[in-house]
Amino acid sequence: MAVLSGRPLLSNRGIPLNLGWVQQVRVNTSAVEHRAQTHVARRTVKKEWQAAWLLRAITCMDLTTLSGDDTDERVRRLCAKARRPIEHELVKQLEIEELEIKVAAVCVYHRFVETAVRALEGSGIHVAAVSAGFPAGLSPLEERIGEIRRSVEAGADEIDIVITRALVFGGRWQELYDEVAEFRRACGRVHMKAILGTGDLLTLRNVARASFVAMMAGADFIKTSTGKEPTNATLPVGFVMTRAIREYAQETGMAVGFKPAGGIRTAKQSTEWLALMKEELGTPWMKADLFRFGASGLLNDIERQLEHYATGRYSADYRHPIA
């Protein structure tokens, strides 16, 4: 169970839309940007602590393939990597066999849900499907709801939906709330992550407001990006969204998870994001129940850093293919 300031938190069930709360949101952009700059300038974790944080980062990954040329075979290879994200010899060198390190989920298009479910059977790794008209979110509402239901029926454990960004630009908060609440109902028993498309939202105030509306409508996670926008996960956006999560938890007693996605490619970035979660929300948000990375190339660099820790040498990128 998540705890914030010594207070146990429930899973998010959503609340009625509180327009007053949404409209009073303010963000000091310069202060947020300064906070992000000082965050990356601090001393980072080193040696065995760095290795431990990188292993934690792997366990929080949604290993992802969302390309137009995806195939069943590529998804099966990705699932095999998800089961054994670190090559066996390196696991032995690190002496971590008993930890049974694996990623949290594999994230794919709806078409490949059944393939991933079969490939991951018995592993405990979740299958996440991007649905609801990903990545633009502009198809008719009934089609988006139908896609969610089909992904759930196909065996998806988690659904990553995408909001209609135009509703944010127009301040149409009731419509946005109703849309996300419909998606939440269509997800049924499975967890729902609401992708805000923060690179499209123009201002940090819009990001904060969209975060609150998505949480009020019942999102289990709020997620930065589709990975298809020109700008994806950034630390200023991360600070705004995590502080919205903290305020929501303090006001409602319910915990919402956070998923930065897009542009996170280096081991150093993964530790920066984990440190952000620790400082802003606490250690419960450093675990897969409440924190995920949307990652494709990130795992390669983490493996290289772990090999350097174990052997003192960096391996070539091509030795760590993920698909």
Q: For 82-137, how does the pLDDT look when each residue is reduced to its tens digit (9 = 90+)? A: 999 999 999 999 999 999 999 999 999 999 999 999 999 999 999 999 999 999 99
Q: Angle at Cα 276 formed by Cα 249 and Cα 9, nearest 5°?
A: 20
**Residues noted as catalytic:** 160, 223, 259
Q: What 3-state DSSP class applies to 43? A: coil
In this predicted structure, the answer to whether residue 323 has a pLDDT above a threshold of 60 is: no
Confidence (pLDDT) at 181? 98
User: Which residues, 6+ apart, have CB-to-CB distance to 153 below 8 Å?
Assistant: none
Q: What 3-state DSSP class applies to 255? A: strand
Q: Looking at domain 11-319, what is its CATH homologous superfamily?
A: Aldolase class I (3.20.20.70)
Confidence (pLDDT) at 229? 87
Listed in sequence order, the DSSP H helices in the chain are 19-23, 29-41, 47-59, 72-83, 88-94, 113-119, 141-153, 165-169, 173-187, 204-216, 235-252, 267-280, 298-311
Is the bond leading into 284 cis (omega within 30 degrees of zero)? no
In this predicted structure, the answer to whether residue 29 has a pLDDT above a threshold of 70 is: yes
pTM of the full structure:
0.95
The model's confidence at residue 317, banded by pLDDT at 50, 70 and 90, is low
